[in-house]
Amino acid sequence: MTQPIVSELIDLLQLERLEVNLFRGASRDIGTKYVFGGQVLGQALSAAQQTVPRERVVHSLHGYFLRAGDINAPIIYQVEVSRDGKSFSTRRVSAIQHGQLIFGLAASFQEPEPGVEHQLSMPDVPKPEDLEAPGEIAADRLEQVPAKLQRWLTRKGPFEFRHVYPRDELKPPKRPPHQHVWLKLVDRIGDDADLHRAMLAYCSDFHLIGTTTFPHGISYLQDNVMMASLDHAMWFHRPFRIDEWLLYSCDSPSAQGARGLARGSLYTRDGVLVASTAQEGLIRVVEDGAH
């Protein structure tokens, strides 16, 4: 029996078909002020996947977050069939809420074929079973953040995360802009590869842009820090399972102009590189008394 929190995520990503190339997705409140960016990303990919031949697999996607999503309203996903070639298919997806475009996605799909192969090696880090699972945050510390964020910090989500070098987000130290996080779904699911990819897209929005804050000793939990995802890119390289441990290795090469850039590589525990990500986000530190 699949855990309810996992079943809820599966339902969230499968979408309701309204018409040809038109879908509706529910929104979920997971403790963020607006719709979680990974939800929109995963749902948009799911919509696109349902319009291409089954044998074609997504290899890249590029999305832009245009407006904050309303947690209390569904999202309509309209898929445009840009091209179906001999070996590639391209789709554009518009996510619409309250009559406005909140997110746009372009995705490319390919029929699998052989070719040259290489990959960068996985960082040498401890295995997930050698790391402690995150503990509960003490009540007196939780009181330091707004009630909405308290729910975010205490919610039992569908993914388990184990940080190689944990960071105290309530009192963040300054340190180099890179981190390694093991992640996996908390329960076993079926073999539908499209669902595994949509779930990885959803999950890839965790931890990535936060890496850009590390050198500055700031955190999204601080009331004078404003952060928002601006875009998200992802490349799928090799097969994987989201219900088995993956290492998310993230770094941030630059932050400037109130924006930070982060990159990520996702490896199986055996060191196989299965996906890469990149994201730019807005990072504003507001002066005291200016907000």
Which residues participate in catalysis according to the annotation? Answer: 205, 229, 279
In the numeric block, which tokens belong to residue 14? 């499968």
The Cα–Cα gap between 102 and 288 comes to: 30
The Cα–Cα gap between 166 and 182 comes to: 11
From the CB of residue 287, how many other CB atoms can be counted at a distance below 10 Å?
7
Tokens 């290899």, located at residue: 59
In the numeric block, which tokens belong to residue 280? 């730019």
The answer to whether the CB of 140 falls within 8 A of the CB of 158 is no
Tokens 């779930």, located at residue: 199
For the CA atoms of the chain, what is the radius of gyration?
19
CA–CA distance from 36 to each of 27, 152, 203 (Å)? 9, 11, 10
Looking at the DSSP bridge assignments, the partners of residue 80 are 92
Residue partners of 86: CB distance under 8 A and separation at least 6: none
Question: Strand ranges (DSSP E) for 125-258?
Answer: 159-163, 178-185, 225-229, 231-236, 246-256
In the numeric block, which tokens belong to residue 39? 């939800």
Q: How far is C-alpha 33 from the chain's CA centre?
A: 16
The answer to whether the CB of 142 falls within 8 A of the CB of 189 is no
